[in-house]
Structure formats: C-alpha cells, structure tokens
Structure 1
C-alpha cells in the first residue's frame, strides 16, 4: 500500500504555493487519488469564504454563540487523526462534527450507533450542500438528519455559512451560476476561460 505523509507531501508538492498548505496531521494518505481529492477540496474550501483553518472547537463555539441556529463554518479538526470539522449552531448550542475521510470520499457520521450507509462525497462543499435545506439543484429528499450527542437527538440544520472573508463579485456570480442547473446545462457553449473558472469552484455555497 502506498502512503503519503500529509505534511511532507504537501510541502514538497509543486501543486501547492505558500498560501495553500495542508494541516499537519499524523494520519497518512492511502493513495495518490485520496491525496489529490484532499488537495482539490482544500483549494475549494479556501475559495469558499467560510473555511476558518486552524481555529479550535472552543473558538468556533465562541464565534457561533450569538449567531442564529443553522449558522456553520468549516475548520481544521483539532483531532490529528482527521482533517476537517464542521461547527454548527443548533438549538442545543454549537456542535462540532468531525468530517470523516476514507480513500475516496468525505462523510459525516452523525450517529455512532447507525450501521446504515451514510452519503459520501468527493468534496466537503458537496457534503455541506447536501445537508442544507432543499433548494434548486439540490436532489436531497426532505428527510431531516439528526445529530446524536450525549443522549440528545438534535436536528442538523445547515442554513448560513459564517464567513471569514469577503467574496469577490466574480466569485459571487460564479456561486449564483452554480445554483442554476438550467444555466449549467449550457456550460459547454461557454468560452473556455469561463468554463475553467466555473470548474475551479463548482458549488453554489
């Protein structure tokens, strides 16, 4: 089995510049495919405006304390065995969920006792969008997902990202286009530079 150190590979890779480093984690990559998936996800997270990087769960709790229910952010996991975490304000306060990562996908295990398969995604942004309310272009059914924590069953509602930076007008337009499937269906007719710009960030959030 080929393994890649998250830290060493990121430092030596020509794909990364000084502003795009993977968090230092002790878990290794199981394949080049997984490594590339994480790099692509990290790039999109840094474009998203709600990826806060290496803040702690305690800091996330403090920032979300006065926000409305459903406000969320993505940050680096405080657990060295994981890469990313989702912090979300719920009716029972802020909850911090580890985003699991296997060889080819990301997923949330909101109920440790659940033996059924959970949805898997090749990007954290797709995972976040899945758990947001039904919207145009979102094929998720209306079933509510719940977090099971300390004996509580808490609805998982991702409504509004908590921004850490201002988005450019170009990026806001790109997100708007990504949220309209009728426009995306005509993407092949767009000029190549515009198609590439849309492909760099293909999420509506």
Structure 2
C-alpha cells in the first residue's frame, strides 16, 4: 500500500491543470493564426515603420494586422486614423483576445475567441457609426461604438476599421466566400456541393 501526501496530490493536480491550460492556449493561438492567414490582411512580421509606410497614403479606416514587436503581445492592429497611422496591440488572456485596455479610453472592452472575430466586430461598429464624432468624449463606455484612442495632441481619435490593406489582391473565390458569409450563417442549408461548403466553412467571417 502506497501513501501519498496531500501536498503531492495537490501539486500533481496543479501540474495537470497548468498543462491543460498551456495546451488550450496553444490550440487557440494556432486556430487564430489559421484564421488570420486566410484573411489576406495579416502581414506577419512587419515593423511599425513598415506598417506606417503602407498606410501613410491610405484612407482613414484602412487597417492591417501584424505580429506585435512587444514581447508581451502576439498581434497588433495598424490603422489609419484622422491623425495619421497608429498602432493598437491585441491582448491575449484567459483564452480570449481583446484590444489593449491600457491605450484605449474605454474601461470595458469585449473579448473574442479569435483575432479575426475581434476585427470583424470593430469593422461592423465602424460601418454603422457616425464618423464625424471624433473628439474628446466621443463614444461610450459600453463598447457600442468605435474605440476611442487617446489622448494625443488633437484630443481623442476614434479607431475606425473599414477597409483592409491586403498583402496581395485576394482571390475571387475568397471575396465570394466573404459575400456569402455576409448573406447567411447557414452554409449547410445551401444547395452547394460538399466540397464548396467545406471551403466556405473554413472561413466564416465577414471581412
């Protein structure tokens, strides 16, 4: 008969829990990477200066996602604002992604299972919000409008995400997939070959 101390049992349970958490984090980040690579607007290892050059002459709301140069973050959104190109890091914690709450003025930020879902959310908000409300105090604290950045020399500037900056011209198939995703969430009910349905379900986002 072997006796195990309660301390050893607790340590074993803690190790198992931590191991499962690491495995879960790895799988979620890997899934996020797969989705990002399908977007066409994920630029990978791109510096802040390189992102600025890409966005410099773009319209307000043009954006891209790149790997973060900060060790504590995985990804960064680079976007064109009314005050010029800016960068906003994406936090990953407890299995969820959200915008960097240190930079943003909003105290409560929504969390998402994937980076693409996060971007999709703010694209939808940007498309339905009044883009002339840039200034101190614009937006609300509930996460119902574009995220206000600040402060800077011009006051508060809203983060608008409206147009992705693609690494290359996306394929017609991918653009059609996005259009279909905007029209329905029930791809399985469409009168399409299974192979085409599989292609549609590989990327279920609107952007």
User: 1:41–1:124: 8 Å Cα contact kept in structure 2?
Assistant: yes
* Equivalent in the alignment of 2:75: 84
Deviation (angstroms), 1:53: 0.6
User: 2:187–2:201: 8 Å Cα contact kept in structure 1?
Assistant: no
Q: Deviations over 1:92-147 (max 9, x none)?
A: 111101100012111013555758431011111111111114569xxx98633211
**Unaligned stretches of 5+ in structure 1?**
5-29
Question: Following the alignment from structure 2 to structure 1, what is the Cα–Cα distance between the partners of residues 172 and 182?
Answer: 16
Runs of 4+ in structure 1 displaced over 6 angstroms? none
Tell me if 1:173 matches 2:176.
Answer: yes
The alpha-carbon distance between structure 1 residues 141 and 194, as it changes in their structure 2 partners (threshold 3 A), is: farther
**Unaligned stretches of 5+ in structure 2?**
1-14, 129-141
SS of corresponding position for 1:198:
helix
TM-score (ref. length: structure 1): 0.75
2:149 to 147, 150, 153: 147
1:195 to 174, 191, 197: 197
Question: Following the alignment from structure 1 to structure 2, what is the Cα–Cα distance between the partners of residues 141 and 83?
Answer: 22
Question: Following the alignment from structure 1 to structure 2, what is the Cα–Cα distance between the partners of residues 3 and 114?
Answer: 35
Question: Following the alignment from structure 2 to structure 1, what is the Cα–Cα distance between the partners of residues 144 and 111?
Answer: 18
Structure richer in helix, relative to its length: 2
Number of residue pairs the alignment of both structures matches:
175
* Equivalent in the alignment of 1:94: 85
Question: Following the alignment from structure 2 to structure 1, what is the Cα–Cα distance between the partners of residues 60 and 106?
Answer: 28
Q: Deviations over 1:66-108 (max 9, x none)?
A: 1110000000001122111000000111110110001211101
Structure with bigger gyration radius:
2
Question: Following the alignment from structure 2 to structure 1, what is the Cα–Cα distance between the partners of residues 104 and 97?
Answer: 19
SS of corresponding position for 1:203:
coil
Q: Which moved more, 1:165-174 or 1:51-60?
A: 165-174
The alpha-carbon distance between structure 1 residues 50 and 89, as it changes in their structure 2 partners (threshold 3 A), is: same
* Equivalent in the alignment of 2:167: 164
TM-score (ref. length: structure 2): 0.74
Q: Which moved more, 1:161-170 or 1:142-151?
A: 142-151
Question: Following the alignment from structure 2 to structure 1, what is the Cα–Cα distance between the partners of residues 32 and 25?
Answer: 11
User: 2:96–2:112: 8 Å Cα contact kept in structure 1?
Assistant: yes
Deviation (angstroms), 1:159: 0.7
Q: Deviations over 1:34-70 (max 9, x none)?
A: 2111111111111111111101011111111111100
